[in-house]
Structure 1
């Protein structure tokens, strides 16, 4: 059964131990919009927060599961080691360098190793993030920053950029991306990590560009990462709709790749599986989107629950620490 190529990055889901501080950082400092305040559908006692462009367009979502007692991450290999966030141009990076300095956010210098200018930084829990300039980028279009953001729209974050994977065996990861997921080998570059040079392999899907890239580094010297607060749980890639998702489920099953099968997430439909180095991938549909149960003007202001959890609302709300996201 013929499948359409994956369209690019859909979302990245990470772990925080403090929803209130997380909300403040990603909305008040990074200027993203909270487009959905919900719960982890696999553990409804904790929040699942979705930050994105003005309406949560696919490819713009950075989400967080709150795990209040999550320990510190022991960084290492076989991990999603950096999440990139796109900005419109090189000028925006200079704005962000000044803004990060103003808020005393740990950050590096502007770098150009990948062929695009980038600015790496860390959030209050050590989450590894990188701003990437779209100055010369072509391919998957970015989103539109929210007009009510504290960051001027011309400098605002417009979506997810390349996702960096650090793995023990790059060949195995690249084989899954190309032979199974139909990514294309694009190019490679060299960067310096902890004082030594590393090769980075660039793969792309769909229309290509920074919104559709995975960058892979091989590092067999580090121990395996032990995740905690400040780590990434999984990365999701875009499929158009449920029909296409069903084709991918059939494809993985034919290849005898263990997978979750169809999973209903209400705001999108999903499929999960792990690649050979243990990194969790999700395929997620572009539809229905975040305006299914809230109107555009009030996205993220109240606790949103999919219909199949609505009869548990009182019990769920009783377990959650109050989080005021009204604007």
Structure 2
């Protein structure tokens, strides 16, 4: 029983229309599912991914208009990475960011990989990381977009960074319960220059890593727009999902129990520093209710919400994505 890598990250946005423009028109990702927040069906949940919505390529957003800005600190998923093929791709993206006025840094090495840090319009901290033929979790399938060459397209999720006041409790959950392995360290490129610890799972590589930054000097983060709500990890199938439920209960780790999201099965829990983790199955995927060719083109509802479609649509604000 082994987690395969990152499944998705979920972030908060206050402006779904502008969010769509940024992630599809500028970053060239595909909107693979337009649905609702199943815990609050009056708000949208947008999923961006590769061409086929492959697990491990998904970055999702809960739309909450008028949400206050997130305040950075500890107990925070402080950065999210997106994979590209090689270092030449970073040069392409650096020029593209200049063209579209996207705030970005210089190309720098992190964890012995070439990277390019940038942020979206709501201040979400993002990093492009170059694969450069590194072995590990397989990349996704590029989404064909006319002004982004296929060889430079975003092809999946890279490492997430957890900023915590004390690392040991988080490390304990990752290694003793979730099966992650220590894989090295590197120095931060920002102000504090903290040592960042690398933990990996599955086949390894950037699509299977969690980076831990210890910052006892910071206050606790306050989540708002631009902040990361949770990170999810890949469980290959429902049989192993059942085993993970039993494992968390065996360790008496408080958790959500089984949650049916239809596109995947989920299991939520907080690690000791308060960061929300999710374990999500690869199956059945986003093609469960619409063909791959037309995914994301309409409002999708899981079968258990479909009988309430009229009521749900009446309460949703109009959303113009074009």
Compute the TM-score of the two structures, normalised by the length of structure 1.
0.97
SS at match of 2:220: coil
Matches of 1:147 and 1:320, distance apart in 2: 30
CA displacement 1:179-238 (0-9 Å, x = unmatched): 1101000111112322x3210100000000000000000001100000100000000000
Task: Establish whether residue 256 from structure 1 lines up as the match of residue 252 from structure 2.
Answer: yes
Where do 5+ consecutive residues of structure 1 fail to align? none
**What pairs up with 1:276-315 in 2 under 5 angstroms?**
276-315=272-311
Partner of 1:144: 141
Question: What is the Cα deviation at residue 114 of structure 1?
Answer: 2.0
Partner of residue 125 from structure 1, selected from 111, 115, 122: 122
Partner of 2:72: 75
Question: What is the Cα deviation at residue 321 of structure 1?
Answer: 2.3
Partner of residue 154 from structure 2, selected from 147, 150, 157: 157
Matches of 1:88 and 1:253, distance apart in 2: 40
Partner of 2:213: 217
CA displacement 1:250-296 (0-9 Å, x = unmatched): 00101100001110000000100000000000000000000111111
Task: Establish whether residue 166 from structure 1 lines up as the match of residue 163 from structure 2.
Answer: yes
CA displacement 1:86-142 (0-9 Å, x = unmatched): 000000000000001100011111011320010011100001100000014210011
Matches of 2:134 and 2:216, distance apart in 1: 31
Matches of 1:147 and 1:125, distance apart in 2: 26
Residues 200, 210 of structure 2: 8 Å contact kept = yes
Matches of 1:237 and 1:151, distance apart in 2: 29
**What pairs up with 1:47-126 in 2 under 5 angstroms?**
47-126=44-123
The structure-2 alpha-carbon separation of the partners of 1:149 and 1:259, relative to structure 1 and needing over 3 Å to count, comes to farther
The structure-2 alpha-carbon separation of the partners of 1:277 and 1:15, relative to structure 1 and needing over 3 Å to count, comes to same
Question: What is the Cα deviation at residue 325 of structure 1?
Answer: 4.1
CA displacement 1:44-88 (0-9 Å, x = unmatched): 000000000001100000000001121011111110000000000
Matches of 1:325 and 1:139, distance apart in 2: 35
Matches of 1:101 and 1:115, distance apart in 2: 25
Task: Establish whether residue 231 from structure 1 lines up as the match of residue 227 from structure 2.
Answer: yes
SS at match of 1:71: coil
The structure-2 alpha-carbon separation of the partners of 1:10 and 1:113, relative to structure 1 and needing over 3 Å to count, comes to closer
The structure-2 alpha-carbon separation of the partners of 1:63 and 1:135, relative to structure 1 and needing over 3 Å to count, comes to same
Partner of 2:37: 40
Question: What is the Cα deviation at residue 149 of structure 1?
Answer: 5.6
Matches of 2:71 and 2:162, distance apart in 1: 16
Structure 1 residue ranges, 4+ long, deviating more than 4 angstroms after superposition: none
Compute the TM-score of the two structures, normalised by the length of structure 2.
0.98
Equivalent residues, number: 322
SS at match of 1:117: strand
Matches of 2:118 and 2:110, distance apart in 1: 16
Partner of 2:194: 198
Matches of 1:189 and 1:149, distance apart in 2: 37
Residues 201, 209 of structure 2: 8 Å contact kept = yes
Where do 5+ consecutive residues of structure 2 fail to align? none
Matches of 1:88 and 1:113, distance apart in 2: 16
